[in-house]
A and B are shown apart, each in its own frame.
Chain A
Amino acid sequence: MDIFRLLAAAAFIFCLSSLVYQMTKLLIAGNKRDFSKPSGSEKDGIVYSFTGAMSPFEKESAYLHLPTYIAGLLFHFGVFLSFPVLLLMIIFPKILFISQYLTASISLFLLISSFSGLFILVKRIVKRDIRAISGADDYISNGLTTFSLLMSSIALLTETLVPLYFVVYSVLLVWVPIGKTRHLIYFFFARYHLGRFYGRRNSWPQKKVSNG
């Protein structure tokens, strides 16, 4: 048991340090100086990029694809929940089992989250056009994350599966900084850069179309 826990801890450290390395690279690369005269506020654009622009009413990728959007939200909430769960499982495993009700609730949410991931994976396999643009990384990243969430959900209820849970998470954590799962950090930088771009040009925050 301790070996598996150590394995997961090592994988976690590898993942974290790889992501920190990539983040450091992004920060060191820096921004090129923009010599154009701004007509809007970069700061307002960045704030909007993380708030209003994320509204499902603002994005076709959300409002034209509501089932996928909702599945995506549940999937990502599950992922974010699963990491503190993993940390607790490594460091203070007893805490999670203090309340049966709490453990069951977390397990249920992770199960729903894993089914959401499965839905997205199946969609990728079934839909011709998405399949056409998909590569190994797309299937590995989604499949591995989905399976990890499922294992997380089961392991919370079935202690005998905890070693397997640690192994699965170790594989996931090694893959995170290599595969597209690294968007975990790039997402935030992308929103930041997009906010700067549109904010400087006064395109964001989005203006209303009005007559007169």
Chain B
Amino acid sequence: MDSILKFKDIDSKLLTHLNACVKCGLCADSCMFYKKFSDPDYIPASKVALVSSIYRRYNTLSGRLIPSLVGAEKMSQEMAERMVDLLFGACTMCGRCVKHCSIGVDIAFVVRKGREMLAEMGLVPSTLQSTVDAAVNTGNNMGIPEDEFVGTISWMEEELRDELNDQNASIPLNQKGKRVFYTLNPREPKFFPLSISAMAKIFYAAGESWTLSSKYYDVTNYGFFNGNKREAALIAKNLHDEVIGLNSALLVLGECGHGSRANRWEAPNYLCKEYEFDMTTAVELTSSYIREGKIKLDPTLNKEAVTIHDPCNLVRNGGLLQEIRFVVNSSAQNVTEMTPCGNDNYCCGGGGGLLAMSEYNDRRVGAGEIKADQIRKSGAKVVVTPCHNCVDQLTQLNHTYKLGVKIKTIAELVADAIIIEKT
């Protein structure tokens, strides 16, 4: 407990962001939770204050001598409960407030540090923890047994062969020495298997050498959300070691925002090493196929108006704003943007592990009304997003707010526009 409150191993970045907020409150309008519920507790500065007040109380002279004057607070049961509710249940760490902060406080980073404190104290919501436990114990966050996964892949392979009218079309499993090691969000084999065959169709058209692993195919890492770095590192290591074991040169991160972020940007730091293989996202790989002429697309095959939902971890926090648009614009005839869009786009509401925490369902779907309004105003009939968690949340919003739109991944959109040239 002492090491948690003492912020051992603090670096310049954390020290800075714990001390930089002036509580101007101007971040309020950038947060979907505050905008929807108008609760001052949801103001991002208020969430930063929870963590920084603990830091001040146990780590500064002024915090010990004059705590009430400098906003320093003791860790108490009540404080811990407040932190759980606000840091886990009222923040998706989307980082929209960060970009708009008048100072430049990395609020999402501070919230994540707060979650790490709560994880050390054993206060991770049990629903979120069970998702992490499933990944640690079974290799995927939904606990899908290996034979069930293999069965689904086999079924999708049959579908692919029928669609392409080619008995040689395949979805390779556990093949060594393939250039690409592809990963999935377990929601795909469980609920959306067609997105697997969509990506397989793209690989087929591009003539890619690729494989899936039947054991460690899960791109997600909920250890990024629960704040337990040891568990995050274990999940990351499983995937890393599997890529090495299958001797692939390129790890392709399937359409999952946080999974891409956790593997691309966080995992090397969890494991304290530079990876031996390259990593890219499915969007970037698809984009490279288009640019290099490896796949040919006919955007007129996607006639309905399409709008893009920008996953926070891929766009604002991942720099893929233009890559996503390049692929979508190459695949659809009529693309319309949400307002705001790109780095300013709102989170769908399902990020930060909220989809896994059923106790916050009402709050999550309520905050998502902002996204629902954006979609409605765009006039689009199809919402495309390269993130399966976003797909889940958008599907719920579609139902709750009666939007009447189709929700698609980018692979599905591209697969619908692809022209297969038979030689």
A residues with a Cβ closer than 8 A to B are 22, 25-27, 29-32, 34-37, 39-40, 49, 53, 58-62, 64-65, 68-69, 72, 120, 124, 127-130, 132-138, 140-141, 178-180, 182-183, 186-187, 189-191, 193-194, 197-198, 201-203, 206-207, 209-212
A-B contact pairs, 24 of them (CB 8 A): A25-B15, A29-B12, A30-B12, A32-B13, A35-B268, A37-B268, A37-B274, A59-B101, A61-B100, A68-B24, A68-B26, A128-B40, A130-B25, A135-B68, A183-B20, A183-B103, A190-B16, A190-B20, A190-B103, A193-B106, A201-B318, A203-B315, A207-B343, A209-B325
B11 close to A30 (CB less than 8 A):
yes
Contacts of A198 in B (CB 8 A): 319
A194 close to B325 (CB less than 8 A):
no
B12 close to A64 (CB less than 8 A):
no
Digit string of B261-288 for contact with A (CB within 8 Å is 1, else 0)?
A: 0001111110111110011000000000
B17 close to A60 (CB less than 8 A):
no
Contacts of B267 in A (CB 8 A): 36
**Taking CB as reference atom, which chain B residue is nearest A206?**
B343
Q: How far is the CB of A167 from chain B (nearest CB, A)?
A: 20
Q: Which of B11, B17, B317, B325 contacts A211 (CB 8 A)?
A: B325
Does chain A have a CB within 8 A of B248?
Answer: no
Does chain A have a CB within 8 A of B98?
Answer: yes
Q: With A29-B12, A194-B104 given, can you name 12 additional A-B contacts, CB distance below 8 Å?
A: A26-B12, A26-B16, A49-B104, A53-B104, A59-B102, A61-B27, A61-B30, A65-B29, A180-B22, A203-B316, A206-B343, A207-B322
Q: Which of B41, B68, B101, B268 contacts A36 (CB 8 A)?
A: B268
A32 close to B11 (CB less than 8 A):
yes
**Taking CB as reference atom, which chain A residue is nearest B16?**
A189
**Taking CB as reference atom, which chain A residue is nearest B56?**
A137
A62 close to B102 (CB less than 8 A):
yes
Q: How far is the CB of A181 from chain B (nearest CB, A)?
A: 9
Does chain A have a CB within 8 A of B420?
Answer: no
Q: How far is the CB of B266 from chain A (nearest CB, A)?
A: 7
Shortest beta-carbon contacts, A-B, top 5? A202-B319, A61-B26, A35-B268, A132-B40, A186-B20
- The answer to whether A34 and B269 touch (CB under 8 A), given A133-B40, A179-B70, is yes
Q: How far is the CA of A108 from the CA of B235 in the complex (A)?
A: 62
Contacts of A182 in B (CB 8 A): 19
Q: How far is the CA of A49 from the CA of B26 in the complex (A)?
A: 18
A64 close to B29 (CB less than 8 A):
yes
B317 close to A190 (CB less than 8 A):
no
B266 close to A203 (CB less than 8 A):
no
- The answer to whether A180 and B98 touch (CB under 8 A), given A39-B319, A135-B71, is no
Does chain A have a CB within 8 A of B303?
Answer: no
Contacts of B109 in A (CB 8 A): 197
B26 close to A65 (CB less than 8 A):
yes
Q: How far is the CB of B309 from chain A (nearest CB, A)?
A: 13
Q: How far is the CA of A60 from the CA of B364 in the complex (A)?
A: 23
Contacts of B70 in A (CB 8 A): 136-137, 178-179
Count B interface residues, CB 8 Å.
Answer: 69
B26 close to A133 (CB less than 8 A):
no
* Most chain A beta-carbon neighbours within 10 Å: one of B22, B68, B271: B22
Q: How far is the CB of A48 from chain B (nearest CB, A)?
A: 11
B25 close to A133 (CB less than 8 A):
yes
Q: How far is the CA of A22 from the CA of B30 in the complex (A)?
A: 30
Q: How far is the CA of A115 from the CA of B52 in the complex (A)?
A: 30
Contacts of B98 in A (CB 8 A): 194
- The answer to whether A29 and B15 touch (CB under 8 A), given A179-B70, A203-B318, is yes
Task: Give residues 3-37 of B contacting A (CB, 8 Å).
Answer: 10-13, 15-17, 19-30
Contacts of A201 in B (CB 8 A): 265, 317-319
Q: Which of B21, B24, B68, B319 contacts A61 (CB 8 A)?
A: B24
Q: Which of A25, A60, A202 contacts B29 (CB 8 A)?
A: A60
Contacts of B23 in A (CB 8 A): 130, 133-135, 138, 180
Task: Give residues 278-317 of B contacting A (CB, 8 Å).
Answer: 278-279, 315-317
Task: Give residues 132-168 of B contacting A (CB, 8 Å).
Answer: none
- The answer to whether A60 and B100 touch (CB under 8 A), given A130-B25, A207-B321, is yes
Q: How far is the CB of B82 from chain A (nearest CB, A)?
A: 13
A187 close to B46 (CB less than 8 A):
no
Q: How far is the CB of B414 from chain A (nearest CB, A)?
A: 16
Q: Which of B194-202, B334-342, B398-406 contacts A (4 or more CB under 8 A)?
A: B334-342
Does chain A have a CB within 8 A of B62?
Answer: yes
Q: How far is the CB of A69 from chain B (nearest CB, A)?
A: 8
Q: How far is the CA of A72 from the CA of B105 in the complex (A)?
A: 17
Does chain A have a CB within 8 A of B417?
Answer: no
Does chain A have a CB within 8 A of B329?
Answer: yes
Q: How far is the CB of A175 from chain B (nearest CB, A)?
A: 10
Contacts of A26 in B (CB 8 A): 12, 15-16
Contacts of A207 in B (CB 8 A): 321-322, 342-343
- The answer to whether A35 and B104 touch (CB under 8 A), given A27-B12, A61-B30, is no
Q: How far is the CA of A27 from the CA of B16 in the complex (A)?
A: 10
Contacts of A211 in B (CB 8 A): 325, 329, 335, 337
Does chain A have a CB within 8 A of B49?
Answer: yes
Digit string of B232-271 for contact with A (CB within 8 Å is 1, else 0)?
A: 0000000000000000000000000000000011111101
Contacts of B27 in A (CB 8 A): 61
B316 close to A61 (CB less than 8 A):
no
Contacts of B24 in A (CB 8 A): 61, 68, 72, 120, 130
Does chain A have a CB within 8 A of B394?
Answer: no
A136 close to B30 (CB less than 8 A):
no
A203 close to B104 (CB less than 8 A):
no
Contacts of B13 in A (CB 8 A): 31-32, 193
